[in-house]
Structure 1
Amino acid sequence: MKEYKIRGTNYKIRYNDFSGELTPILFIHGLGCAGSFDYVEVASKLGFTHRIILVDLLGAGYSDKPLSFKYTVTSHAGYLKEFIDDLDLDKIIIFGHSLGGPIAIELSNLLKDRIYKLILSESNLDPSSHGAASFEIGHLDESDLENSFKIKLMEYERSGNTMWVATLKNWLPKAAFEVSINAVSGGTPSWREFLYQFEFPKYFIFGERSLPDKDFEILKKHNIKIEVVPDAGHSMAWENPDGLAQAIKNCL
């Protein structure tokens, strides 16, 4: 694992960087997750023909968790843009899952003609609503955040979602809360609008168990190619890493 110090701060993000000859792929994980936890197995199944970079976002995984940072989609995209600049990457493929999708979308807007392809897996495109984890976490009691976050963790663990809880426990509660508030409010312009306007190749991956989904046909109409991971739902990196790797290969 390597580390990168965010410009103008002492904050460090940590990441895996697997060598490969083809266009680098940056993996951006979702709420409660970590690149170092979610995507190592997927990366191995891709065969390392592409350079693969698995980042733990600030506030998550093995990266630093500063209390003074403002954890929004835009702020995450901002330091990731500098990270890519400092790695001197002329062309890049961005992969974003769930709430990592809006970060991938805003990052793609910052990088523009340096994006080779954008691959999203069940990304947030609109403001999150009742039933979504980001909606629940975004409505925790801010005045007692540490305790309300612990209670929510116990609820998720009792529901049987132990893999996700394992990584969510390693998130700074403030980081999960603030980015979830951002998910509830949505982007301006919306992440969906950004996605539709991009001219580079765009792909959207669904887990088979997440279907039917109204966006399955809507996205096709906007020139976004669809892939489906069999025997998997939203957490496809854990539920079927072989299937997710194959879906990504189909996009590549």
Structure 2
Amino acid sequence: MRGAVVTEAGDRIRWVEWAGDEPCRVYVHGLGAASGPYFTAVATHPSLAGRRSLLVDMLGHGISDRPTDFDYSLEAHADALARALTAAGVTGAELVAHSMGGSVGIVLASRHPDLVSKLVMIDSNLDPLTPARGVVGSNGIAAYSEEEFLAGGRAEFAELAGAEWWATMRLAGREALYRSAVRLARGTRPTMRELLLDLKIPRTYLHPEADGPLPGADALTASGVSVVPVPDCGHNVMLDNPEAFVRATAAALAD
């Protein structure tokens, strides 16, 4: 385990790292998750192994610190991740990021272009969402006020999330989980989709085939984004169908 200070208050982002060839490969989890449980098996698969690899936990999540005075916007997450990668001596990384992590990755590549050379997003948020009670996702959390969520909404949402997601979500800071969800549902200006369209690096978007055509796929493809449906999986593509995920990711990262 390694780490770096990423805020003026001394808060640290931490990651699991193993040695290998450059360029570095960086894996980033989604909302309420952690990179180790979600990515270790696929990152060490023979088709993806051999690169220096960092499995990073964003602030408020996993093994990283959980400051209660951090903004937790996508921009703040991206800037904190940039400081961690810079401290780790990473440039031109191949970024593989799930859900909220992919949204952060888009902002990271836009704000810190020297840090990202390729971007693989896994069913990531591209557009703002409308808050709605009873929904499993960032917009479900965003339907609460922060006071409601901390007082009892977190326990209610745990029932909706299910045991697998809750296994990592329960490790996230309460304020971090809520604020990250609200800011993810709110999105960025320009939107994540608009930022993605403007990026000039190789970009791949993996999504569950069962969800049907990805909204806006034609415009993404026209801008150079490879949109790849993955069979036999839900939102957690790398856990539900690791072999298909590895094939698609290895193809996306091939020279």
TM-score relative to the length of structure 1: 0.91
Q: Quote the Cα distance in structure 1 between the aligned partners of 2:243 and 2:12.
A: 31
CA displacement at 1:77 relative to structure 2? 0.6
Matched positions, count: 248
Equivalent residue runs for 1:186-205 within 5 Å: 186-205=187-206
Partner residue, 2:56: 55
* Letter in structure 2 aligned against 1:124: N
1:133 partner amino acid: G
Is 1:102–1:125's contact at 8 Å kept on the other side of the alignment? yes
> 8 Å contact 1:81–1:110 — kept in the other structure?
no
Whole-angstrom distance in 1 between the partners of 2:66 and 2:124: 24
Question: Match of 2:9, SS?
Answer: coil
Q: For the Cα contact (< 8 Å) 1:13–1:58, is it kept in 2?
A: yes
The aligned counterpart of 1:136 is 140
Distance across 1 between alignment mates of 2:115 and 2:156: 43
| Map 1:1-252 → 2, pairs under 5 A | 1-45=1-45, 46-129=47-130, 130=132, 131=135, 133-146=137-150, 147-157=152-162, 162-252=163-253
Q: Alpha carbon RMSD of aligned pairs, Å?
A: 1.7
Query: TM-score, length-normalised on structure 2?
Result: 0.90
SS of the equivalent of 2:140 reads: helix
Going from structure 1 to structure 2, the CA distance change for 1:165 and 1:7 (only over 3 Å counts) comes to: closer
- State how far apart, in whole Å, the 2-side matches of 1:192 and 1:109 are: 12
Q: 1:73 Cα deviation (Å)? A: 0.9
- 8 Å contact kept, 1:26–1:94: yes
Q: In structure 1, what residue type is equivalent to 2:22?
A: L
Stretches of structure 1 lacking an aligned partner (at least 5 in a row)? none
